[in-house]
Homo-oligomer: A and B are copies of this chain.
Amino acid sequence: MAESMKGLRRSHRCTEVSRNNVGETVTVMGWVQKSRNKGGIIFVDLRDRSGILQIIFEESDIGSEGFAKAARLKSEYVIAVTGRVEYRSGAVNENLVTGDIEIRAHDLRILSEAETPPFPIEEDSKTKEDLRLKYRYLDLRRPDLQRNLMLRSKATTVVRKFLTEEGFLEIETPMLTKSTPEGARDYLVPSRIYPGNFYALPQSPQLFKQLLMVAGYDRYFQIVKCFRDEDLRADRQPEFTQIDMELSFVDVDDVIDVNERLLKTLFKECIGIDVELPIPRMTYAEAMERFGSDKPDIRFGMELKNVSEIVKNCGFGVFTSAIENGGSVRGINAQGQANMPRKQIDSLVDFVKDFGAKGLAYLAINEDGSYKSSFAKFMTEQELADLVNAMEGKPGDLLLFAADKDDIVFAALGNLRVELAKRLDLLNKDEYKFLWVTEFPLLEYSEEEGRYVAKHHPFTMPMDEDLHLLDTDPGKVRAKAYDIVLNGTEIGGGSVRIYQSEVQEKMFEVLGFTKEDAYNRFGFLLNAFKYGVPPHAGLAYGLDRLIMLMAKEDSIRDVIAFPKVKDASCPMTEAPSTVDDKQLAELGIAVVANKEE
Taking Cβ atoms with an 8 Å cutoff, the residues of A that contact B are 1-2, 4-6, 9-10, 13, 29-32, 47-49, 76-78, 80, 111-115, 117, 135-138, 140-141, 146, 149-150, 152-153, 156-157, 160-161, 164, 169-179, 181, 185-201, 208, 211-212, 214-218, 225, 227, 229, 238-239, 241, 248-249, 251, 254, 464, 499-502, 524, 527-528, 530-535, 560-562, 564, 567-570, 572-580, 583, 586-597
Contacts and interface: CB of A to CB of B under 8 A. Distances in A.
A176 B239 contact: yes
Contacts of A590: 589-590, 592
25 contacts: A2-B499, A5-B251, A31-B216, A49-B218, A112-B532, A117-B531, A146-B216, A146-B217, A149-B217, A150-B169, A153-B170, A157-B160, A174-B564, A175-B239, A177-B570, A178-B573, A185-B583, A188-B190, A196-B591, A197-B577, A198-B579, A199-B575, A208-B561, A212-B561, A588-B594
A251 B10 CA distance: 11
Contact of A561 (B160, B173, B214): B173
Given A78-B532, A531-B115, A595-B195, A583 B187 contact: no
Contacts of A578: 196-198
A593 B196 contact: yes
Nearest to A197: B576
A117 to B, nearest CB: 5
B140 A215 contact: yes
Given A114-B531, A176-B238, A176-B239, A251 B6 contact: yes
Contact of A49 (B152, B217, B574, B594): B217
Given A141-B216, A578-B197, A534 B112 contact: yes
Contacts of A229: 192
Contacts of A575: 174, 176-179, 199-200
B181 A580 contact: yes
Given A77-B532, A181-B580, A193-B569, 4 more contacts: A29-B248, A49-B216, A115-B531, A174-B239
Chain B CB count within 10 A is highest, among A1, A464, A576, for: A576
The complex is assembled from copies of this chain, and their number is: 2
Contacts of A30: 216, 534
A215 B138 contact: yes
B146 A186 contact: no
Q: Say what secondary structure dominates the interface of chain A.
A: loop
Chain B CB count within 10 A is highest, among A171, A187, A189, for: A189
Nearest to A75: B532
Contacts of A562: 173-174, 208, 211
Nearest to A50: B218
B572 A185 contact: no
B588 A13 contact: no
A589 B592 CA distance: 5
A241 B240 CA distance: 18
Contacts of A156: 170
Contacts of A211: 136-137, 140, 562
A118 to B, nearest CB: 9
